[in-house]
Chains A and B, each alone.
Chain A
Amino acid sequence: MTGERITAITMPKWGMTESDGKLVAWLVKEGESVSAMDEVVEMETTKITGAIEAPEGGTVRRLVAKPGDVVPIGGLLAVMAGEDVPQAEIDAFVDAFEAPESKSGGGEGAGDVTVIEAGGHSLRVRSLGEGEATPIVLIHGFGGDLDAWLFNQEALAADRQVHAIELPGHGQSSKSVGDGGPDALGAAVSAAIDALGLERVVLIGQSMGGALALDLALARPGLAAGVVLVAGAGLGEEIDGAFLEAFGSADRRKEMKAALQSLFADPALVNRNVVEGALRNRRLEGAAEALEAIREAWFPGGRQAHALAGRLGEIKAPILALWGVEDRIIPAAHAKAVEGRGEIALIEGVGHMVQMEAAGEVNRHILAFVAGLEA
């Protein structure tokens, strides 16, 4: 979308069923100059509201879409250019702009998601991207699903395969989890990676998924090219047991909303779509029982039972730990366990779902880390 002198800001593809987004609010004005990665606009999709960042620095010359407008993927939101670009050229650019055809047709990227049979489970996997660079495997946390990576997966998939795996008992994957413990879930992820034909990957896990990434790196040193922990579990005992209990028993919208809000620093992000999505997953036959088994196995008595901090030294692969400073579920202080063993990035103003609340920043940290592995 970047021309010689004029840059278009367009609606990105977030998630698999999104075909458009509704403009919530502009965060900049016409004529305002912005730096690369500044957030310029908030867009609401059927999943969650997210901010879009300026692809590069410059002046916002034209806000094409208005609050309330529904904009298709690839549709023009705004135009950036230097101060010296004449108005007529901006007008011509806007007039001539054509949104690219959606790759999957009809705007539904259902083809991105497949169901694989692995280790006795049927697991949903969303696969994006192609290329020679080391593939990435994304592992969501307790109670999460593929949408945990809504704002990350596409950004990470520019030059490589990125596979998000939906854990047993979660989302729309099959609900049998055995005892729900680290070994059972880890075996499922390991089998999924084999089923995908991957031999060396960067493992990225959020929360409980982080602990699973560490387990895999320990069990299969040859597999792990690098490990990224996003508010990872396994690095200390503390965890918000009250949240786990509330989330586990939330079968009504009100309780679910309250539980989900503690995952974010900004509770307004938890809109009806986020709550509805979580409830729909939870109400599937067997889902509540599976989550309960997992909670009991991993977090008995509201403490983390699976301790990996002492074993980080055994992991050969480089480690990056990302944490939201306002994380109310697993304290950001747990990142200290990675000191001397890897990089740490603490992100201000965001909570446990750091990869959603600070998607741009998290993506940049991961891309830089991955580039470092390949340098």
Chain B
Amino acid sequence: MARKLSMRQAINEAMHQEMERDESVIVMGEDIMGGLGVDWLEGDAWGGTQGTTKGLGPRFGRDRVIDTPISESAFIGAAIGASTTGMRAIVELMYVDFLGVCFDQIFNQAAKFRYMFGGKAECPVVVRTQIGGGFSAAAQHSQCLYPIFTHIPGLKCVIPSNAYDAKGLLIEAIRDNSPVIFFEHKKLYDAETEVPEESYTLPFGEAGILREGGDVTIVALARMAHMAMEAAETLAAEGIECEVIDPRTTSPMDEDTILESVENTGRLVVVDESYPRCSMGADISSMVAEKAFDSLKAPIRKVAPPHTPVPFSPPLEAAYLPDAARIADAVRAVARHGS
């Protein structure tokens, strides 16, 4: 009871349970077992760069757990092909930064099949990929590119902030008949929460309310949800009660939960680790400005990095990424406005 798992373990358990339940579920990706040269059936190798696929190879065998060459455009295409012809492929592409070489397969093929073939074709593929900075991994390994995928109709975008959500959302993603891009923040793999052993699903398009409060609404995703909670704790001591909303999925987006909260608080701060232009921060702000303008008592504030690549230098990266202090400052500013 009250068993705790890290997000890494929760993702691993979700794949184990779905592969057990449905034999059409397969897993593909680079080094997900340790490479073809490794005798993984004997010893169980690495399980991908984050260990999320650990144990799947020995349990389900080579036919269903497929180590691929370092050729993203080929194996993402293969996973999408397999998924349009009866399989449910979970394909891991280490870092979202590398998805650029597979845009056609994802944007123009997987996302469009249902529409191009009169609803007769489906593509239940799940692309798992890592996002986020904080490791000084430099400009090509630190981005949060989920807005690009959210932009494309036909893709579903899932961005869990904790282990409980990750398990339920990943199982939902695997069972969903649309292509789903599942974004895992590198800094959250070790974060633990209570996770039931049983299988369960979380519906897409339902935001999580992480904290209730009547003064200011903060919307934040993934690691930023944790930063927002930290800020909310500080602000509560100052007498500012924040409602913290984690959209969990950006496509579909739970507009109602955000709008209802803003109708109550009249003040909104959106925190986004992605670049500030054409971002989720921009998207959510415009949605609220359009649909809840009369409820707003203060201008909407966005907390985001500057519009530059993620710096490699640790002090610069720390200055670049939004943190609890910057969120708290933004909340204080909107809380003060007009009062």
Contact = CB atoms under 8 A, between A and B. Distances in A.
Interface residues of A, number: 19
Contact of B196 (A108, A113, A271, A284): A284
A252 interface: yes
A249 interface: no
A110 B194 CA distance: 12
Contact of B200 (A115, A254, A284): A284
B336 to A, nearest CB: 20
Contacts of B2: 16-17, 108, 110
Contacts of A115: 1
A113 B1 contact: yes
A285 B1 contact: no
A285 B201 CA distance: 8
Contacts of A280: 164, 196, 200
B24 to A, nearest CB: 18
Interface in A224-261: 251-254
A29 interface: no
* Most chain B beta carbons < 10 A, residue from A17, A108, A284: A284
A278 to B, nearest CB: 13
A80 B42 CA distance: 67
B198 A172 contact: yes
Contact of B212 (A68, A172, A272, A284): A272
B326 to A, nearest CB: 23
Contacts of A124: 1
Contacts of B256: 254
A284 B203 contact: no
B236 interface: yes
A29 B200 CA distance: 46
A283 B212 contact: no
A285 B200 contact: yes
B301 to A, nearest CB: 24
Contacts of A68: 236-237
A85 B257 CA distance: 52
Contact of A283 (B194, B202, B236, B237): B202
Given A113-B1, A271-B212, A280-B164, 13 more contacts: A16-B2, A17-B2, A17-B194, A110-B1, A115-B1, A172-B196, A172-B198, A253-B257, A272-B211, A272-B212, A280-B196, A280-B200, A285-B200
20 contacts: A16-B1, A16-B2, A68-B236, A68-B237, A113-B1, A115-B1, A172-B1, A252-B203, A253-B206, A253-B209, A272-B209, A272-B211, A272-B212, A280-B164, A280-B200, A283-B201, A283-B202, A284-B198, A284-B200, A285-B198
Pairs A-B, 4 closest by C-beta atoms: A285-B199, A283-B200, A284-B198, A284-B200
Interface of A: 16-17, 68, 108, 110, 113, 115, 124, 172, 251-254, 271-272, 280, 283-285
